[in-house]
Amino acid sequence: MGILFEVLKQDSRTRARLGRLTTPHGVVETPVFMPVGTQATVKTMTPEEVRDLGARIILSNTYHLYLRPGHELVREAGGLHRFMHWNGPILTDSGGFQVFSLAPLRKLSDEGVEFRSHIDGSRHFFTPEKVVAVQEALGSDIAMVLDECAPYPCSYKDARTATERTTRWAARARAAWNSDGATALFGIIQGSVYRDLREESTRALVDLDFPGYGIGGLSVGEPKPLMYEALEWVIPLIPEDRPRYLMGVGSPDCLFEGIARGVDMFDCVLPTRMARHGAVFTHTGRLVVRNAPNARDFGPLDPGCTCYTCRHFSRAYVHHLLRAGEVLGIRLTTIHNLHFLLDLARRIREAIAEDRFHSLKEQFLAACLTP
Ligand SMILES: CNc1nc2cc3c(cc2[nH]1)N=C(N)NC3
């Protein structure tokens, strides 16, 4: 079964496009923002709240769930959807990024990557085949291949080594994948900030014919113009009828710039992580609600926002909750931030449908970047 992706409308002035992603757990309209639920929960939200905010697909993570509670336990529980009571599509990241960013003491070889758990120091070994099997056991709708994430900055030599290994691993993952099963498998394009490596990686993965493609190795500290340039190298080489997923991105401006370059799917911890630090998105930029000036501000977090938090509570009240360490505080900032990005994606889809994406982008970025 796997997935089916259809382009419904191509924007006339940019590479933006309206799409429909059909999965075994439901249909997703693209461009789409996917909330991150790393450990089988979008932090502080119930699944009903995540759905009511407009989310239709969420992310979870192979590395984390493999280590805790274990993919076999999740399989025994009836799979990840049942375990976490989320009946929409789930995309699981392979752990490629997490092993390289979280796990101490890892040893990389062509066979795979040996690492120690960041939880209890126990030793583990991920291979491209193992990571596919874990995601199929979880029952993911979309699984990602195991990739080697070159850090930024990274020498050309190291980037070439990492990219060539990632390509060999992608072929092994594809061979291990049960392509007749429910779980679709996406390749991940690497190549750091080097045009020839990005193009070689894309061509090699397209030749392997995956149902969709993650664009990895970005949003890892490189300047945003470099990320946009990498998209301009890669996107034209991916077939029109395959979804393009920019991994780990992003903020409102990156959403607009990525969509304008042909990206269909995004995920980012920013809305939930910022919320936990008492910061929120507003239409004129970022607001740190826990900062003193908000103590006596009796207006909403973001004037004009229609989310539950902005309809019922003031900056002063949320400021108080955050300062008092009340859990409701980070729930209210999470509701606002998720609504902000999910509703922005909805407005962008509407704008593409009505041929006014370019003007919405200009108008939004002008307001957002005002001092
Ligand atoms: C936050 N930035 C970010 N860049 C990423 C890049 C990748 C990823 C996750 C990311 N998150 N997962 C992978 N398996 N590979 C590429």
Residues of the chain with pLDDT > 90, as a percent, come to: 94
Q: Are strands 279-282 and 285-288 parallel, antiparallel or unpaired?
A: antiparallel
Q: Which residues carry out catalysis?
A: 93, 267
Which residue is closest in CA terms to ligand 1's atom 12? 97
Q: List the one residue out of 215, 208, 209 whose CA is nearest residue 229.
A: 215
- State the Cα–Cα distance between residues 96 and 94, nearest whole angstrom: 5
Which residue is closest in CA terms to ligand 1's atom 1? 248
User: 104 pLDDT exceeds 90?
Assistant: no
Mean per-residue pLDDT of the chain:
96
Task: Using most ligand atoms within 8 A of CB, pick from 247, 251, 267 the residue to mutate for ligand 1.
Answer: 247
- State the Cα–Cα distance between residues 361 and 16, nearest whole angstrom: 11
Mean pLDDT of 126-130: 98
Signed CA dihedral, 48, 52, 58, 60: sign only: negative
DSSP state of 344: H
Residues of the chain with pLDDT > 70, as a percent, come to: 99
pLDDT tens readout for residues 147-203: 999 999 999 999 999 999 999 999 999 999 999 999 999 999 999 999 999 999 999
Helix (H) or strand (E) holding 75: helix 71-76
- State the Cα–Cα distance between residues 5 and 19, nearest whole angstrom: 7
DSSP-based three-state secondary structure for 2: coil
Task: Using most ligand atoms within 8 A of CB, pick from 220, 222, 249, 263 the residue to mutate for ligand 1.
Answer: 220
pLDDT tens readout for residues 256-298: 999 999 999 999 999 999 999 999 999 999 999 999 999 999 9
Helix (H) or strand (E) holding 162: helix 156-176
